């Protein structure tokens, strides 16, 4: 029942009909298994040490960012509109123009998901999400973290001795050759995080708004999907690696 809901995206009413039980029973089963798998999978240490990252980093990637520890990005997914106007305002995303949940994902250069934040409501900014996610506490002096231009938290990284890698912001009519090369390589390396998010969202439960009955368990379900993505085999690293080398 849990797999049909999360992986196949079947609704609670459909599951109730298939299993011959009430929708309340379906909700109880889904919540129970979400909490159980969250505890089981959550006991697995997915954050990689610096040595593990370097040992598994593709050789071609080392030519671009040898000290890269993690690539991060935010993603949003819809939730059912709450009836209370106050709750609607608290979850409404101005970026998506509907109520959403938002989370931060991190992957190692090897393509493994190494960080999954808890779920936040839609109005939270990218900068605030990065602060509250807890990823800054995991970084060490000398680490590099790759992110989009929206992640303006360089000062926080300087405090821990880490460095933020983003595509260069164009301040003049043309970028220098070095900036262009760096921008192309960074963009191609960031394909990894996009592939990881796409794999997580292939769980069909995210195809439609999360029902209100599962709103209290969405954090557990999201974390389980992120961790289960690591058991689906490696991402398409060879194709990404070859494009990076062409850029540099």
Inform me whether the pLDDT recorded for 178 exceeds 50.
yes
Residue the block writes with tokens 């599951």: 15
**Contact between residue 115 and residue 135 where contact means Cβ atoms under 8 Å apart:** yes
Q: Quick one: tokens of 173?
A: 């009519």
Do 4 and 98 reside in the same domain of the chain? no
4 and 95 share a domain? no
Is the pLDDT at 243 greater than 50? The verdict is no
CA distance 30 to 21: 13
Q: Give the chain's domain count.
A: 2
In this predicted model, what pLDDT tens digit does every residue of 3-38 receive, in sequence order? 999 999 999 999 999 999 999 999 999 999 999 999
- Ramachandran sector of residue 161 (left: φ over 0; alpha: ψ -120 to 50; beta: rest): left
Q: What are the tens digits of pLDDT across the range 137-153?
A: 999 999 999 988 777 67
55 and 153 share a domain? yes
What pLDDT was estimated at residue 95? 53
Quote the pTM value. Answer: 0.83
Q: Does residue 102 share a domain with residue 78?
A: yes
* Pair (152, 29) in one structural domain: no
pLDDT at position 227 = 94
To which residue do tokens 């998901």 refer? 113
Residue 221 has pLDDT above 90, yes or no: yes
Q: Are 135 and 72 in contact (CB under 8 A)?
A: yes
pLDDT digits (tens, 9 = 90+) for 60-113: 778 888 999 999 999 998 887 655 444 444 554 555 555 788 999 999 998 899
- CATH at 115: 3.30.420.10
């Amino acid at each position: 029942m849990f797999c049909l809901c999360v992986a196949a995206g079947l609704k609670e009413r459909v599951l109730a009909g298939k299993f011959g039980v009430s929708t309340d029973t379906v909700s109880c089963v889904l919540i129970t298994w979400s909490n159980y798998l969250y505890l089981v999978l959550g006991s697995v240490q997915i954050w990689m040490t610096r040595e593990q990252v370097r040992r598994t980093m593709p050789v071609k990637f080392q030519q671009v960012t040898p000290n890269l520890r993690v690539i991060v990005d935010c993603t949003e997914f819809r939730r059912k509109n709450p009836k209370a106007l106050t709750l609607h305002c608290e979850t409404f995303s101005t970026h998506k123009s509907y109520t959403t949940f938002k989370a931060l994902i991190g992957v190692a250069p090897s393509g493994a998901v190494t960080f999954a934040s808890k779920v936040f409501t839609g109005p939270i900014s990218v900068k605030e999400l990065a602060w509250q996610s807890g990823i800054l506490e995991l970084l060490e002096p000398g680490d590099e973290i790759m992110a989009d231009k929206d992640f303006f938290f360089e000062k926080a990284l300087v405090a821990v001795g880490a460095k933020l890698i983003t595509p260069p912001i164009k301040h003049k009519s043309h970028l220098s050759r070095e900036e262009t090369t760096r921008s192309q390589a960074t963009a191609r390396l960031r394909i990894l995080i996009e592939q990881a998010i796409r794999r997580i969202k292939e769980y069909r439960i995210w195809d439609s708004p999360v029902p209100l009955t599962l709103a209290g368990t969405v954090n557990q379900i999201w974390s389980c999907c992120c961790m289960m993505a690591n058991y689906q085999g490696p991402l398409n690293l060879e194709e990404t690696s070859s494009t990076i080398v062409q850029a540099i």
